[in-house]
Chain A
Amino acid sequence: MTLHTKSLTEELADWLAQGGRRIGEIVILPSAEGWEVRHVDDAESPATSLTAHKTPEAAREISKYDAAGQYRPLKGAPNLVHGWRLILDTTASLRDALDFFYPAALGNWVAFTQGRATPSPIRETFARQTGMYRITGLLDEDDCRAVVADNCAYATNCRRRIAWPVAAGVPFDNLPPEKTNLEPAPDEMPVLCLHACSLLVASARTYIKKKRAAAGQ
């Protein structure tokens, strides 16, 4: 039994053929060599004003630090550096580069749209933590709303769009629409968050510890 009918590279090729061009802060432009990836703000810049790169692995280095030289552990952070272009000759190498810019974005989106992904409600993610993060199981629904609104803020912190509710049957009602809109513009592949990242789990721990300390617990 095979899991997929098409490989992820073929899925990407289909998306591109249907006019797909944007993911997070990057834009994918057809070029004489194959594909050219840029920061979306650099889409119209003269090629000569941008530093050219030619390997998928360059994407890993481009996305590692922000313009101020700060490490970017969260690739969804809206602070991808400008001033580069990445020239790739095959869709397979474009796929590899995308997985460095936005890890798992392609696979998550394909699995999600094909009904093969099961996003974890945030309270379930917190409830299964062990060790120093076990305490996050104590966040109630309102705590979850508050910590997600703060930690995952679309405008400033993370461009992933959350596919999970607070709890089964309890959607978020306090987030800006783009944070939960999983079908943005037709030419854009949403960067989905199917399961909370470790930064959110760590924020939840800090949040609940402060709350309990304030309550004298």
Chain B
Amino acid sequence: MADSSVSSSTWRDAALVILGHGSTQNPDSSTPTWQHADELRRRGLFREVQCAFWKEEPGFREVMHMIDSDHVFVVPNFISEGYFTRDVLPRELELQGPVTHAGGRTIRYCDPVGIHPSMTRLLLKRAAEIAPGVPPSEISLVIVGHGTSLNENSTAAIKSQVELIRASGAGFGEVVDAYMEEEPLVARWDELTTAPNVVVVPFFIADGLHSYEDIPVLLGLTENSPGAISANQGEVFRRNPYALRGRQLFYSAAIGTDELMADVIMDQVAAAPQESTSPAA
């Protein structure tokens, strides 16, 4: 959590840079990142707030040219630690470690949003919002990730959230993890859960093909008709609840679209790495 040497008074003279993946195909991919940046700009906590993307502009290699501050907090708006946060981002930003001194600047590289314990708060809020009036004890909460192939540890991030929610005293009937491409498969959601109500939350940074189309098909909410849902985009989230396989199923948008993600970004800033050595002159 927050420590004394990286205080909010430091933030006001500093820049916040939020890094996202972005997409050359999906116009919604970068939307949550921009929204969180807008929100944090409105709060006026930082001298400046900028975004940069792997697949969109501005790119990682140019974002440092866009800021005036000598102190920079960099927060990856990524769901887990992995290839991007450990390899691509440090390389493209030319980071030297958790704290980088370069060109008269101090850059603090924070952990990605998805691994912060406060993600639990968002998942609980999302579950309460999406199934209003349903007692938690009658809900099976399913947190869905991609699994395998992608060289990302989203599986670890999701498993840790499942543990945190079980321990949170929120009182859900059960909390389980499920994946698109590895066991336990989300397609078997009815076997993985027992409660009469099932709330499914995709653990992704943005809505896109996975949340608009792939997961709904795996859940059985829609037929496999590529493009049919993405044409209507958010429509699949507005038809709750679904009566399916003898249960009532509530399907949520990607967790990263929640406005409270701005707070998680701030939590990662508050936990920013410390100076290991005194700043270079």
Interface of A toward B, CB cutoff 8 Å? 1-4, 7-8, 57, 60, 64-65, 71, 73-76, 99, 103-104, 106-108, 110-111, 116-117, 120, 128, 130-131, 194-195, 197-199, 202
User: What number of residue pairs across chains A and B have CB atoms under 8 A from each other?
Assistant: 83
A8–B63 Cα distance when bound, in Å, is: 13
- CB nearest neighbor in A for B23: A73
Q: Is B57 an interface residue (CB 8 A)?
A: yes
10 tightest CB-CB pairs across the interface, nearest first? A107-B65, A103-B58, A103-B57, A104-B62, A104-B58, A73-B24, A107-B66, A195-B61, A71-B27, A1-B104
- Determine whether the beta carbon of A99 is less than 8 Å from that of B88: no
**9 pairs from A and B in contact (CB 8 Å cutoff):** A1-B70, A65-B27, A71-B25, A107-B65, A107-B66, A108-B65, A116-B103, A131-B83, A131-B87
Q: How far does the Cβ of A213 sit from chain B's closest Cβ, in whole Å?
A: 23
A99–B22 Cα distance when bound, in Å, is: 17
Residue among B57, B70, B91 making CB contact with A74, cutoff 8 Å: B57
Residue among B54, B57, B281 making CB contact with A75, cutoff 8 Å: B57
Interface SS of B by simple majority: loop
* Most chain B beta carbons < 10 A, residue from A106, A116, A197, A199: A197
Instruction: List the A side residues contacting B273 at CB < 8 Å.
Output: none
Supposing A8-B68, A104-B63 touch, asked if A198 and B34 sit within 8 A by C-beta, the answer is no
Q: Is B276 an interface residue (CB 8 A)?
A: no
Chain B residues numbered 19-34 whose CB sits less than 8 Å from any CB in chain A: 22-27, 34
Interface SS of A by simple majority: loop
Supposing A60-B34, A198-B55 touch, asked if A4 and B68 sit within 8 A by C-beta, the answer is yes
Q: How far does the Cβ of B206 sit from chain A's closest Cβ, in whole Å?
A: 14
Q: How far does the Cβ of A196 sit from chain B's closest Cβ, in whole Å?
A: 9
Q: How far does the Cβ of A126 sit from chain B's closest Cβ, in whole Å?
A: 14
- CB nearest neighbor in B for A99: B66
Supposing A65-B27, A73-B24 touch, asked if A117 and B58 sit within 8 A by C-beta, the answer is no
A186–B281 Cα distance when bound, in Å, is: 38
Q: Is B151 an interface residue (CB 8 A)?
A: yes
A182–B210 Cα distance when bound, in Å, is: 41
- Determine whether the beta carbon of B281 is less than 8 Å from that of A1: yes
- Determine whether the beta carbon of A104 is less than 8 Å from that of B57: yes
